[in-house]
C-alpha cells in the first residue's frame, strides 16, 4: 500500500498564522487549543499546499474564494507573501513541497495582482506541472475521501452508493439473473428499466386494470335491466310487408298525378325564361338608344363650348385688366401718402433751419467771474485777456457747429424734396394709366355683354340628331308586344286548375304512420341484439383483463424475487469492507419492492447516532476507501475530545481536540 505521511508544515501569512512551523508524528499527532486557535487552519494550509484549495474545497482566487491572506485588525497585510511548505514521506522517500502566493507591486506602490509559485524539492514548477505531479501521487478527490471523515458522507447519496458498489464488486442485476432463465426473460421484458421502476409500472398497470375489471359486472347488470321484451318478430315482418304493398300502390297513383303537375310546371318555367330573355333584350335596346342620345348631346355641348371660346378669352383679359387696375389704385394711394409725408417732413426741416439760422452766440456772465473768488467780478487785465480768448474760441466752436447743423438740414431737405417730386411724378403717371385702364375695362365689358353665351343655352330635343333612332324605337315596340303576349300565356297556365290528389295524400300519410309503428317495434329486436352483443363483449373484456392482471402479478412476483436477491448480494458484498459500519443499500417499499438507498448504520441505528459513532463511521469509511485504493494519507479528525474509543486508522492520524477557552495551540507527537 502506498503511504503518504506529513512530517512538517511551515506556514507564513496564511490566515491567522504569521510564521509557524509544525512537526507531526508518523503514526499519531494530537492538536489541541481553544476554538479559533487554528486547528482547522493547519488542515486547510496542507490542502492549499497540495491542491490550491482549503478544507471546504474553496480556491484562493475567483468567485467564492476563501480568505487566505493574514489580517491584522480586520485589514489584509500588504507586501506579505503567503507561503506554505511541507515535508512528506511518500513511500518512505522524503519530498519537499512549497506553494507561494506572491503579491506584485509596481514602482508607484500600486497592487498589480497575485502570482502563484510552486516548488518540488526546491525546484520551481509551473502551476500546471505542479498539479500534474501531485495528481501522479494521489487524486484530489480520493485524498479528501481518505483524509476527511466527513467528506464521503457529504457527497450525493447516489455517488456514495455507486462508489461503495464499485468497492465491493457488487454484481449487476444482469449478472445475478443470468443463470435463471425466467429472471433473464423478465429483464428483457422491462427493456433496461430498474427493478424499482418496473415494480412501480406493474403496480400502476395492475391498479388501472383492476379499475376497469371492477366496472365489468355493474355494466352487465345495467344492460340486463334495460334489455327490451321479446316480441313476435315474424308477425311484425308480415304486417310490414302488407303495408308496404299498399303504400307502393298509393305512391304509383300519386306519381301519375305528379307527372302531369310536373309537365305544367315545366311549361310555366319555359315561359318565364322566355319573358326574362325578352325583358333583357328590351333593356339592351333601350340602353343602346340612350347611349346614342347621350353621344349626340355631348357632341352638341362641345360645339357650343367651342363657340364660347372668344368670349372666354375676352373675359380672361377683363379679369387681368381689373387686377391691374386694383394694383394701380393701391400704388396711387401709396404714392399720394409718400408725397404728403415728405411735404410734411420738409416743413418740419424748414422750421428747424430758420430756428438754427436765427440762433446767435451768447457769452455767460460767469466767464468774467473770478475763478478763485466766485462772489465778485474779476478786473485783472491778464484774466480778462484769458477770458476774452476763451469767449472767442467758444464763439468759433458755436459757429462751426451751427454751420454743420444747417448744412445737414439742407442736405436732408434736398433728399426729402427729391423723394416728394419723384412720388408726385409717379403719381401723375399712375393716375394717367388708371384712366386709360378704366376706359379699356369699360369698353371690353361692353363687348362681352353684347356677346351671346352658348354654353348656357338649353339643348332642345328636336335639335339632337340620333342615328337609326326610328329603327331602335320600332324594335322596342315589337319586343314590348312580345313580352305582353308571353305574360298573358303565362298567366293562363298559372291559373289553370291542378288535379285533386288530396285523398291519395291522406291515405299515404296513414300508411306511413302504420308502417312507422311496425318498424319501431321491429327495431326493438335490434336493441335486444345490440345489448346482447354488449354483454358478450363485456364478458370477453372481463376475461381479458383477468388474464392481464394474473400476468402482471406473475411479473411482480418475479421482480420482487430478483430484487430480494440483489439486495442480499449487494448488502453482503459492501458490508464485508467495513469493520463496524453496516450499510443499508436498499429500503423496502409499501408495494413490497425495494428502493435504492445508502445509509450507514451501527447496530441498526442511522439517524440518532452519537458523535463518537459518527466519527467511528467516518474513520471506518476512510479506512475502507484507503484499502480499496491502496494508499494511506494523513487522516484529520476534528472534535476528538468527544470520543472515548475510536477505530484505529490505517495510516497517519491527526486528532484535533477543543481545549478550554484561553488555551493556546499545542501539537503533541504521540509516535
Predicted confidence band at 492 (pLDDT cuts at 50, 70, 90)? confident
Check whether 503 has a pLDDT greater than 60. Answer: yes
Predicted confidence band at 386 (pLDDT cuts at 50, 70, 90)? confident
For residues 522 and 240, is the Cβ–Cβ distance under 8 A? yes
Beta strands in 151-275 (DSSP E): none
The rounded percent of the chain whose pLDDT value lies above 90 is 28
How high is the pLDDT of residue 371? 56
The larger pLDDT score, comparing residue 469 to residue 78, is at: 78
For residues 656 and 40, is the Cβ–Cβ distance under 8 A? yes
CA angle 414, 349, 334 (to 5 degrees): 70
Helix 195-214 to helix 181-190 angle, to the nearest 10 degrees?
80
Q: pLDDT averaged over the chain?
A: 85
How high is the pLDDT of residue 499? 63
Q: What residues contact residue 275 under an 8 Å CB cut-off, 6+ apart?
A: 483, 486, 487, 490
Among 226, 216, 209, 218, smallest CA distance to 539 is for 216
The arithmetic mean of pLDDT across residues 275-304, rounded, is 81
The arithmetic mean of pLDDT across residues 288-301, rounded, is 79
Check whether 578 has a pLDDT greater than 90. Answer: yes
* SS3 track for 213-247: HHCHHHHHHHHHHHCCCCCCHHHHHHHHHHHHHHH
Q: Give 598-616 pLDDT, tens digit per residue.
A: 889 988 787 778 888 999 9
The arithmetic mean of pLDDT across residues 549-573, rounded, is 85
Helix 127-137 to helix 39-51 angle, to the nearest 10 degrees?
110
- Rounded to whole angstroms, the Cα distance separating 346 from 652 reads 130
- Rounded to whole angstroms, the Cα distance separating 270 from 163 reads 99
How high is the pLDDT of residue 456? 67
Q: Give 69-97 pLDDT, tens digit per residue.
A: 888 888 888 888 999 999 999 999 999 99
311-320 contact pairs (CB < 8 A, 24+): 311/448, 311/451, 311/453, 314/444, 314/447, 314/448, 314/451, 315/448, 317/444, 318/441, 318/444, 318/445, 318/448
- Rounded to whole angstroms, the Cα distance separating 413 from 357 reads 15
Question: How many angstroms separate the first and last alpha carbons of the chain?
Answer: 20
Check whether 407 has a pLDDT greater than 80. Answer: yes
Q: Give 579-597 pLDDT, tens digit per residue.
A: 999 988 877 777 666 677 8
How high is the pLDDT of residue 379? 66
Residue 579, Cβ density class (10 Å: 0-12 exposed, 13-18 middle, ≥19 buried)? exposed
- Rounded to whole angstroms, the Cα distance separating 363 from 373 reads 20
Amino acid at each position: 500500500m502506498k503511504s503518504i505521511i506529513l512530517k512538517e508544515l511551515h506556514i507564513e501569512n496564511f490566515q491567522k498564522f504569521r510564521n509557524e512551523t509544525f512537526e507531526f508524528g508518523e503514526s499519531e499527532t494530537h492538536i489541541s487549543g481553544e476554538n479559533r486557535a487554528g486547528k482547522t487552519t493547519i488542515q486547510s494550509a496542507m490542502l492549499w499546499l497540495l491542491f490550491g484549495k482549503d478544507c471546504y474545497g474553496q480556491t484562493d482566487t475567483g468567485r467564492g474564494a476563501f480568505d487566505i491572506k493574514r489580517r491584522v485588525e480586520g485589514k489584509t497585510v500588504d507586501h506579505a507573501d503567503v507561503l506554505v511548505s511541507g515535508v512528506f514521506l511518500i513511500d518512505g522517500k522524503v519530498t519537499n513541497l512549497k506553494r507561494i502566493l506572491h503579491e506584485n507591486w509596481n514602482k508607484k506602490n500600486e497592487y498589480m495582482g497575485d502570482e502563484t509559485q510552486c516548488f518540488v524539492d526546491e525546484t520551481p514548477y509551473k502551476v500546471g506541472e505542479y498539479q500534474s505531479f501531485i495528481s501522479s501521487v494521489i487524486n484530489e478527490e480520493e485524498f479528501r475521501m481518505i483524509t476527511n471523515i466527513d467528506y464521503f458522507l457529504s457527497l450525493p447519496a447516489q455517488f456514495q452508493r455507486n462508489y461503495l458498489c464499485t468497492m465491493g464488486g457488487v454484481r449487476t442485476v444482469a449478472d445475478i439473473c443470468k443463470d435463471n432463465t425466467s429472471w433473464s426473460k423478465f429483464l428483457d421484458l422491462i427493456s433496461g428499466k430498474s427493478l424499482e421502476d418496473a415494480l412501480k409500472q406493474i403496480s400502476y398497470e395492475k391498479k388501472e386494470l383492476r379499475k376497469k375489471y371492477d366496472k365489468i359486472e355493474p355494466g352487465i347488470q345495467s344492460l340486463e335491466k334495460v334489455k327490451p321484451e321479446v316480441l313476435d318478430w315474424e308477425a311484425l315482418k308480415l304486417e310490414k310487408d302488407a303495408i308496404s304493398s299498399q303504400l307502393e300502390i298509393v305512391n304509383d297513383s300519386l306519381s301519375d298525378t305528379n307527372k302531369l303537375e310536373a309537365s305544367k310546371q315545366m311549361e310555366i318555367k319555359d315561359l318565364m325564361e322566355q319573358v326574362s330573355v325578352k325583358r333583357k333584350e328590351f333593356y339592351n335596346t333601350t340602353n343602346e338608344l340612350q347611349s346614342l342620345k347621350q353621344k349626340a348631346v355631348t357632341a352638341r355641348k362641345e360645339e357650343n363650348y367651342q363657340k364660347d371660346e372668344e368670349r372666354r378669352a375676352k373675359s380672361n383679359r377683363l379679369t387681368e385688366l381689373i387686377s391691374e387696375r386694383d394694383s394701380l389704385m393701391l400704388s396711387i394711394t401709396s404714392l399720394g401718402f409718400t408725397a404728403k409725408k415728405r411735404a410734411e417732413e420738409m416743413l418740419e426741416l424748414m422750421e428747424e433751419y430758420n430756428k438754427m439760422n436765427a440762433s446767435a452766440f451768447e457769452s455767460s456772465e460767469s466767464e468774467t467771474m473770478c475763478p478763485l473768488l466766485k462772489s465778485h467780478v474779476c478786473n485783472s487785465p491778464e484774466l480778462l485777456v484769458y477770458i476774452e480768448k476763451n469767449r472767442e474760441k467758444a464763439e468759433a466752436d458755436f459757429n462751426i457747429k451751427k454751420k454743420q447743423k444747417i448744412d445737414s438740414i439742407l442736405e436732408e431737405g434736398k433728399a426729402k424734396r427729391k423723394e416728394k417730386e419723384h412720388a408726385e411724378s409717379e403719381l401723375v403717371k399712375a393716375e394717367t394709366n388708371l384712366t386709360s385702364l378704366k376706359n379699356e375695362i369699360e369698353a371690353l365689358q361692353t363687348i362681352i355683354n353684347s356677346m351671346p353665351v352658348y354654353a348656357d343655352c338649353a339643348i332642345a330635343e328636336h335639335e339632337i340628331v340620333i342615328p337609326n333612332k326610328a329603327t331602335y324605337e320600332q324594335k322596342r315596340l315589337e319586343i314590348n308586344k312580345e313580352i305582353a303576349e308571353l305574360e298573358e300565356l303565362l298567366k293562363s297556365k298559372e291559373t289553370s286548375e291542378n288535379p285533386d290528389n288530396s285523398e291519395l295524400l291522406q291515405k299515404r300519410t296513414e300508411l306511413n304512420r302504420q308502417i312507422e309503428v311496425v318498424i319501431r317495434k321491429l327495431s326493438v329486436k335490434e336493441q335486444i341484439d345490440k345489448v346482447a352483443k354488449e354483454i358478450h363483449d363485456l364478458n370477453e373484456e372481463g376475461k381479458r383483463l383477468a388474464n392481464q392482471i394474473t400476468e402482471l402479478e406473475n411479473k411482480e412476483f418475479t421482480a420482487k424475487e430478483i430484487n430480494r436477491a440483489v439486495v442480499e448480494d449487494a448488502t453482503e458484498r459492501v458490508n464485508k469492507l467495513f469493520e463496524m459500519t453496516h450499510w443499508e443499500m436498499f429500503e423496502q417499499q409499501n408495494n413490497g419492492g425495494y428502493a435504492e438507498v445508502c445509509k450507514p448504520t451501527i447496530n441498526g441505528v442511522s439517524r440518532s447516532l452519537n458523535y463518537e459513532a459518527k466519527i467511528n463511521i467516518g474513520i471506518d469509511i476512510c479506512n475502507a476507501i484507503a484499502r480499496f485504493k491502496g494508499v494511506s494519507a494523513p487522516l484529520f479528525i476534528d472534535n476528538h475530545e468527544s470520543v472515548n474509543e475510536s477505530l484505529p486508522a490505517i495510516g497517519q492520524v491527526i486528532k484535533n481536540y477543543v481545549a478550554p477557552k484561553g488555551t493556546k495551540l499545542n501539537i503533541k507527537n504521540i509516535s
